[in-house]
Amino acid sequence: MQTNLRGRDLIGDLDFSKEEVETVLDVAFDLKRKRALGEPHAYLRDKVLAMLFFFSSTRTRGSFEAGIAQLGGHGAFIESNTTQIKHGDTAKEIGEIYGRYFDGLAIRHCDWQVGNQYINEVAKYSRSPVLNMQCDIYHPFQCLADLMTIIEKKGRDLRRKRIVVSWAYAASYLKPISVPQSLILQMPRFGMDVVLAYPKGFELMPEIEAEAAAQARKFGVGFDIVHDMDEAFRDADVIYAKSWGPLLTTTDPVEGKRLQDANQSWITDARRMALAKPDAIYMHPLPADRDIEVTSEVMDGPNSVVYDQAENRLHAQKAVMALTMC
């Protein structure tokens, strides 16, 4: 177990080593047990977390706010449009000042080619740990919850388990690419063979795809990219299918929507789930476009673990807060 996480930032998925992620998971499982038994675990009494949002949220805000309270601290929800960030406060000033006011800064900023840079700039000047609640490149806390869920369902030995990270059609909006990017970086470190599937035009950042391949080589597992959803699903142990925008192809929302709408057949339905192993689990970070991105039959079916996955956001985030803010 690694115990040197106090004061550390978590911005990118590889900021913590594999051994440090294992420590986070050990603590997360312990905190989940304590909550189930009603055991007090106020490790962050009198600590205050700033939660700065540039992007709307349901699960992220709820799980962080509940988590810091359950740890004995307080969460300050700050919506960026209600602050002087709109009128001149820079990332340096937020880091310098909020880093003195608060014991931790959690930031969600998903604007393409802006969010990650902003969070890193805040972290440069903050004396308190900075936690990435999602940016344009990474979503590390979602990925930790996902890994925790997979271990619960498939056991701690994930070697040669096959996870499919697939694009799926959604009509609502052009979603960030951070979730699939985090998954393909983290899962090879835990022994999983990764299959990344998307239609042409929906590529992820080339440096992220290259790093995922490097992690796969390092840990002796597979990393493949395919452009056929059926091919990807065959014999999979874990299906993680969600939408993301074609941001590497175009940043024009009209053209992006046209590309997205041209691939409406990329839906997770019962026929496709039948291509996977019988005990394959279906995962999604939510919200999902029901009966567009995934059928309700699958979403509410016996293979779906989306609600356990959502719950584990709480426990994984509490673990990181307890380890970094103590």
Q: What is the pLDDT of residue 245?
A: 97
pTM here?
Answer: 0.97
Distances in Å between the Cα of 287 and the Cα atoms of 59, 94, 194, 226, 299 are 9, 30, 23, 25, 11
Per-residue pLDDT tens, the chain, 326 aa: give them.
888 999 999 999 999 999 999 999 999 999 999 999 999 999 999 999 999 999 989 999 999 999 999 999 999 999 998 888 888 899 999 999 999 999 999 999 999 999 999 999 999 999 999 999 999 999 999 999 999 999 999 999 999 999 999 999 999 889 999 999 999 999 999 999 999 999 999 999 999 999 999 999 999 999 999 999 999 999 999 999 999 999 999 999 999 999 999 999 999 999 999 999 999 999 999 999 999 999 999 999 999 999 999 999 999 999 999 999 99
Domain with CATH 3.40.50.1370 in the chain: 13-139+310-325, 142-306
Q: What pLDDT, on the 0 to 100 scale, is given for residue 7?
A: 98
CATH 3.40.50.2300: does it fit domain 142-306? no
What confidence score (pLDDT) does residue 172 get?
86
Segment (H or E) for 141 = helix 140-154
The per-residue pLDDT for 1 is: 84
Do 270 and 295 touch, CB atoms closer than 8 A? yes
Domain range 13-139+310-325, CATH architecture: 3-Layer(aba) Sandwich (3.40)
- Answer left, alpha or beta for residue 192, where phi above 0 means left and psi between -120 and 50 means alpha: beta
For residue 254 the two structure tokens come to: 């009209």
Q: What pLDDT, on a 0 to 100 scale, did the predictor assign at position 5? A: 97
Output the pLDDT for position 242.
98
